[in-house]
Chains A and B, each alone.
Chain A
Amino acid sequence: MARQSIDAGDYYLARLEAGDTLRIVDLEGNQAADTLFYAADDPTEHYSACNTLREQRNLYLSVGSELRSNENRCMLEIVADTCGRHDTLGGACSSESNTVRYDLDKRSMHACRDSWMLAIAEHPDFGIRKRDISHNINFFMNVPVTESGELTFEDGISAPGKYVELTASMDVIVLISNCPQLNNPCNGYNPTPIELLTWNQ
C-alpha cells in the first residue's frame, strides 16, 4: 500500500493499474479534490462527466457510480464512500473563471486549473496537454440543483476522515488538484490536506 498526503494547492499525478484501488481521504473535512482521469495507454480518452451522469441517470456520484470515459467505457467504479455525494457538474476553479465569479482582481489567486497546468508542465511524459484538461469530478463537494433549476454551492457534507474509494477498471492516470479556493464555501474557506492511499487487490 502506498500512502501520500497532498497539501491544498498541490497536485497528485499517478498511474493506477486495472484492479488497483485508490482511497481519497478528506483529512480535516470540507475539502474539495478536483479530479481527472485518463486512459493510461492513450490520454486522449478521458473522464466524461456527461457520459457518467447520463448513463447513471443521476447528477451525484456515490457507491456504484461507474466513472465513464469519452468513449463511454467504465474507467473506475466507486466502491466505498463515507461522504455520500460528490459533484461532477461544477468543474474546477481557474484564475480566469475567478475573475468572473468573484472579482477581476482575483486573477492572481491560486486555482485548481493552475495546479493542473503545473502538473502537465512538470510531467510531459504522461502525454497530457492543456487541451486534455476537461470536465472533472469534485470529490467531497456538494453542488445541488434546486427545484427551480438553480445551481448552488453548499457547505460541504463531508467531515474529517470521510473518504471515497475507487477501483480502476482499466489502466488510468489520476490527476488531482487539492483545491486552493479561498472565495467560496466548497472547502469551508479553509483549504486543508487530503490523503491518498493506493493498493492492489
Chain B
Amino acid sequence: MSGSLPSNTNSNTNLDPNLTSNPGSTFGSNDGLNNGPNDGSAELLYSTRLSGGKHWSMRLRRGLSLQLRDVKGGANVGMVFYNTADLRERYNAPDTLKCQHTFYLTRGHCLYSDMGRIFASVLDDTLGAHETMCGNSSREQVDRQYGARSYQQDRNAWHQNGHDAFMVELSKYELGRRDLPANVNWFSKCAVREDGGIDFVDGYATAGSEVSLRIEMDCLVVLHTCPHPMASAKHYPHTDVGITLCHAPPMATDDVCLNLCDENRRGFENNRLYHLGSSL
C-alpha cells in the first residue's frame, strides 16, 4: 500500500470544532433525552422513532454518528447513501463487499460509494451480520404475503413496501428508479448455503439490537422501515426503530474501521483527498 497511514487519516477525519464548541445547539438540549445508546460520553443531538412501514431521508454531516435501534425485535431498515454535493455518487454494495472481502456488514466495515470513497463506517453492532444484496419488498409481494391494505383502509397502519418507500423519498431529490442501488438491510441476515442458496434468518434481530454508524462525508441518507423482502412473518411487522444522532468521537489511530484492512486505510485516504481544502 502507499500513502495511507493512520497518522495521516487521524488528523483529517475529525469533528468540526465549530460543532463541538457549542454542543446541543442544533436540536436543543432541553428535551429530556439521555445520552446516546453506545457511548455514555456522547451527547445526544437528536432522537426520534419510526414505526414499521415508514420512510425518511436526511442530510447528515461528516462527523456525526447515527444510531439505529430495533426497539421490539424483528425490525428491518433499508438504507442507501448519496453524496449531497453530487447525487450521482451513491452507495455501492459490490465495492463495499469486495473491498472488505465480506458478504455481511458489521462492526469495522465501511460503506463505500461508487467513487472509491467512504460514506459511513460501522462503529458498533450488537448483531454481527447485516445483508446488502436482497433488495426491497414490492407492493405485489407485500400484498401477497400480508394482504393488500390500503391507506384508505388502515391509515397509518397500512402496508407500505420498501420499493415504494424508497421511490417516495428519492423523488424528493428528483431521483428515481434508475438511481436506486442495492441497499443495506440493517437488522436482517440472509444465510448462504454452499450451493449459493439464500435463506432468510428468522428472528435474527432481537429487541434492543443496535447499529452505530459514523458519517465520513456529507451525505444524503435515505431509509425505510418496511419489512425485509424475504421475511416469513404472516403479519405485517409494525416494529419501531429508534434513530439517534450524536457527535462521533474523534477517530483514533487504533480505530476499528480504519484498521480493519489495508483497503479501508486506502479508502480513508481517498476521503482525505476529497476533503482537502475544506474547513473540517
If A54-B229, A103-B2, A130-B88 touch, whether A46 touches B178 (CB-CB below 8 Å) is yes
Interface size class of B (residues with CB under 8 A): 35 or more
The reply to whether the CB of A53 lies closer than 8 angstroms to some CB of chain B is yes
Question: How far does the alpha carbon of A190 sit from the alpha carbon of B173 in the complex, in Å?
Answer: 43
The reply to whether the CB of A126 lies closer than 8 angstroms to some CB of chain B is no
Chain B positions near chain A (C-beta within 8 angstroms)? 1-4, 88, 92-95, 97-99, 101-104, 112, 114-117, 129, 133-136, 138, 140, 176-183, 192, 194-199, 229-230, 263, 266-267, 269-270
Q: Is the CB of B196 within 8 A of A60?
A: yes
Interface positions of A from 41 to 58, Cβ below 8 Å from B: 43-46, 48-51, 53-54, 57-58
Q: Which of A48, A101, A105, A133 has the most CB of B within 10 A?
A: A101
Find chain B residues with CB under 8 A from A100 CB.
Answer: 95, 99, 112, 116, 263, 266-267, 270
Question: How far does the alpha carbon of A151 sit from the alpha carbon of B270 in the complex, in Å?
Answer: 23
Q: Is the CB of A135 within 8 A of B182?
A: yes
If A89-B97, A96-B114 touch, whether A150 touches B1 (CB-CB below 8 Å) is no
Binding site secondary structure of chain A? loop
The reply to whether the CB of A90 lies closer than 8 angstroms to some CB of chain B is yes
Interface size class of A (residues with CB under 8 A): 35 or more
Give 8 pairs: A residue, B residue, CB < 8 Å, sorted on A.
A59-B197, A60-B195, A90-B94, A99-B270, A100-B267, A132-B178, A149-B192, A152-B101
The reply to whether the CB of A12 lies closer than 8 angstroms to some CB of chain B is no
Find chain B residues with CB under 8 A from A59 CB.
Answer: 133, 192, 196-198
Chain B proximity mask over A93-104: 1 for CB below 8 Å, otherwise 0: 010111111011
Q: Which of B114, B181, B230, B263 has the most CB of A within 10 A?
A: B114
Question: How far does the alpha carbon of A43 sit from the alpha carbon of B135 in the complex, in Å?
Answer: 20
Q: For residue A133, which residue of chain B has the nearest CB?
A: B114
Q: For residue B195, which residue of chain A has the nearest CB?
A: A58
If A59-B196, A100-B95, A100-B266 touch, whether A53 touches B133 (CB-CB below 8 Å) is yes
Interface positions of A from 68 to 83, Cβ below 8 Å from B: 70-72
The reply to whether the CB of A91 lies closer than 8 angstroms to some CB of chain B is yes
